Amino acid sequence: MSSFARIAAVTRKELLQLKRDRITFGLIVGIPLLLITLFGYAINFDVRHLDAVVLDEAHSSLSRELVAEFGASQVVDVTRFAAAGTDVDTLLEKSGAAVALVIPRDFERRLIEAGRPAAQIIVDGSQPSLENAVNGLKQLPVFRRHGTSWLAVPRFEVRVMYNPERRTAVQIVPALVGLILHMTMVVFTAGAIVRERERGNLELLITTPVSPAELMAGKIAPYIAIGLIQTTLILGIGHLLFDVPIAGRLLDLYLAAAIYISATLALGLFISTLAQTQFQAFQLAFMTMLPSTLMSGFMFPFDGMPYPAQLIAQILPLTHFNVIVRGIVLRGAALTDFGPQLAKLAIFLVVAVMAAGLRFRKRLD
Residues 128 and 253 in one domain: no
Write out the chain's pLDDT in tens, 365 residues. 677 776 777 677 666 766 666 666 666 666 677 667 666 666 666 677 888 999 999 988 888 888 888 888 888 888 889 888 888 888 888 778 889 999 999 888 887 777 788 889 999 888 877 887 787 777 776 665 555 555 555 578 888 888 888 888 888 889 899 999 998 999 888 877 777 777 766 666 666 677 766 777 777 888 899 999 999 999 999 999 989 989 999 999 999 999 999 999 999 988 888 887 777 788 888 888 888 888 888 877 787 777 888 888 899 999 999 999 999 999 888 999 999 999 999 999 999 988 887 877 654 45
Amino acid sitting at position 219: K
Query: What is the CB neighbour count within 10 angstroms for residue 294?
Result: 18
CA dihedral 257, 261, 263, 267 (to 10 degrees): 150
Which pLDDT belongs to residue 363? Answer: 47
Residues 107 and 234 in one domain: no
Separation between Cα atoms, residue 247 and residue 8, nearest integer Å? 63
Residue 38 lies in a domain: no
Residues 157 and 226 in one domain: no
Residues 232 and 156 in one domain: no
Instruction: Identify which of 280, 257, 306 has the alpha carbon closest to the alpha carbon of residue 26.
Output: 280
Instruction: Identify which of 302, 311, 296 has the alpha carbon closest to the alpha carbon of residue 177.
Output: 296
> 123 forms bridges with which residues in the sheet?
99, 160
Give residue 54's domain range.
Answer: 50-161
Residue 25 lies in a domain: no
Residues 226 and 353 in one domain: yes
Residue 32 lies in a domain: no
Tell me if 30 sits within 8 A of 283, measured CB to CB.
no
Residues 295 and 316 in one domain: yes
Residue 26 lies in a domain: no
Which CATH number do you get for residue 134? 3.40.190
Q: Which residues contact 329 (CB under 8 A, 6 or more apart)?
A: 174, 235, 244, 245, 246, 247, 248, 253
Separation between Cα atoms, residue 174 and residue 150, nearest integer Å? 46
Exposure string over 94-127, b if 16+ CB within 10 A, otherwise e = ebebbbbbbbbeebbebbeeeeeebbbbbbbbbb
Residues 189 and 140 in one domain: no
Residues 118 and 254 in one domain: no
Tell me if 78 sits within 8 A of 70, measured CB to CB.
yes
Which pLDDT belongs to residue 40? Answer: 65
Out of 146, 161, 176, pick the residue that ends a domain. 161
Which pLDDT belongs to residue 230? Answer: 93
Residues 88 and 221 in one domain: no
Tell me if 175 sits within 8 A of 257, measured CB to CB.
no
Amino acid sitting at position 292: S
Query: Nearest 5 degrees, angle CA 73-CA 75-CA 79?
Result: 90
Out of 100, 135, 161, pick the residue that ends a domain. 161
Residues 107 and 172 in one domain: no
Which pLDDT belongs to residue 364? Answer: 46
Residue 125 lies in a domain: yes
Residue 105 lies in a domain: yes
Q: Looking at the 3D structure of the chain, how many domains does it have?
A: 2
Instruction: Identify which of 318, 275, 270, 269 has the alpha carbon closest to the alpha carbon of residue 298.
Output: 318
Residue 296 lies in a domain: yes
Residues 126 and 190 in one domain: no
Out of 161, 195, 211, pick the residue that ends a domain. 161
DSSP for 185-210, written as a single string? HHHHHHTHHHHHHHHTHHHHHHTS--
Residues 212 and 264 in one domain: yes
Residue 195 lies in a domain: yes
